[in-house]
Amino acid sequence: MNALRPLRTPAELAEAGFVAPERLAGIEAVAERYAIAISPAMAALIDHNDPNDPIARQFVPDAAELTTTPEERDDPIGDLAHSPVEGIVHRYPDRVLLKAVHVCPVYCRFCFRREMVGPQGLGTLSAPAMDKAFAYIAAHPEIWEVILTGGDPLVLSPRRLTEIMQRLAAIDHVKIVRFHTRVPVVEPERVDQDLIAALKASGKTAYVALHANHPRELTPEARAACARLVDLGIVMISQSVLLKGVNDDPDTLATLMRAFVETRVKPYYLHHPDLAPGTSHFRLSIEEGRTLVASLRGRISGLCQPTYILDIPGGHGKAVIGPDAIRENGGCHTVSDFRGGEHTYPPAG
């Protein structure tokens, strides 16, 4: 069945054949706590014959989300600890997040901001809150980059986005505007000339960071949406989450990173999954992640290599996880090549 609008309730998911009757009660309990939305493009991608379909796993709720482990946190990457005014997260000196909206076209079951997004989330910034957020950016000349995230900023209308961009245009010290979004993949039809014009309306250099986790998400329609963005001068980079049962094998990861590069999206970050509540069924260990990322070296082009990172729980920023190819060894260094061979590199001088 091809849905024409997003599926948002357990009943709609059951009607579409994504939830078996015996699972419905568990999914209804999940829906009381976390938002649900599967866009028509993603619903059409789900293979009903595959009980482990990696697209379904990302978007169809699972009763496992009701299990919260002691290490999980409502605000896993510490946004609130670094929020000087509503809608702004100022974690690093030269950049801020501007969270204008907490709505998404899909709700990912592993979302790190799942306590903030959705109909019961933090909503859209009010006009006075938006004024304060812009006043904060204007008053901090060290802010070189503004990252619009949320939620998904590309769910805003071109008119609303243009208003935001025009306000950024007036702040000289902001040079880069970055948008973090899933829209080109999950709602590619939304990426039209009006939207692209809005993204560029600040006159600043515009980057779009595309969130996708499985190569099947890069459909012809998604690739065409990315081409429209790139052709009109927007630089695209990727961000993905390493997820058990979705992309935790070398072939899938390699194909995903190649698909990005083929689409003119430079692989940027591969996130280790955050400690978001009810997401332990998606998490693998750091060691497993390192082994997977190490397997990409040599296997696919340098252009395709993402940086594997951990957002340190509590808001302490990002740390590069590795893999570690070089270790100190009695004054020299031992360097591992992509086949596992070891070589000595001499000390300086």
Among 56, 98, 111, 147, binds ligand SF4 (CB under 6 A): 111
- Closest separation in Å from C-beta 271 to ligand SF4: 10
Among 205, 6, 177, CA closest to 97:
177
Footprint of ligand SF4 on 224-243 (CB under 6 A): none
- Beta carbon nearer to ligand SF4, 148 or 294: 148
127: tokens are 């006009």
- Closest separation in Å from C-beta 311 to ligand SF4: 13
- Closest separation in Å from C-beta 147 to ligand SF4: 13
Among 215, 220, 217, CA closest to 254:
215
- Tell me if residue 92 is catalytic: yes
- Tell me if residue 311 is catalytic: yes
Alpha-carbon distance of 10 to 60, in angstroms, equals 9
Alpha-carbon distance of 279 to 256, in angstroms, equals 22
- Closest separation in Å from C-beta 255 to ligand SF4: 21
270 within 8 A of 242, measured Cβ to Cβ: yes
Task: Name the segment binding ligand SF4 (CB under 6 A); options: 91-99, 145-153, 191-199, 267-275.
Answer: 145-153
Among 77, 75, 64, 74, CA closest to 27:
64
Q: Is 204 in the site for ligand SF4 (CB under 6 A)?
A: no
Q: Is 156 in the site for ligand SF4 (CB under 6 A)?
A: no
User: String of b and e for 12-37 (b: at least 16 CB within 10 Å)?
Assistant: bbbebebbeeebeebbbebbebbbbb
Q: Is 104 in the site for ligand SF4 (CB under 6 A)?
A: yes
- Closest separation in Å from C-beta 259 to ligand SF4: 19
199 within 8 A of 230, measured Cβ to Cβ: no
Q: CA-CA distances (angstroms) from residue 41 to 126, 189, 208, 329?
A: 31, 9, 20, 52
Amino acid (one-letter) located at 262: E
Among 34, 107, 134, 282, binds ligand SF4 (CB under 6 A): 107
- Tell me if residue 231 is catalytic: no
- Beta carbon nearer to ligand SF4, 114 or 300: 114
- Residue 266: strand pairing partners: 237
Q: Which residue has the tokens 């014959």?
A: 49
- Tell me if residue 95 is catalytic: yes
Among 12, 65, 79, 152, binds ligand SF4 (CB under 6 A): 152
Q: Which residues are catalytic?
A: 91-92, 95, 104, 108, 111, 113, 274, 311, 318
Which parts of this chain interact with ligand SF4 (CB under 6 A)? 104, 107-108, 111, 113, 117, 150-152, 182, 211
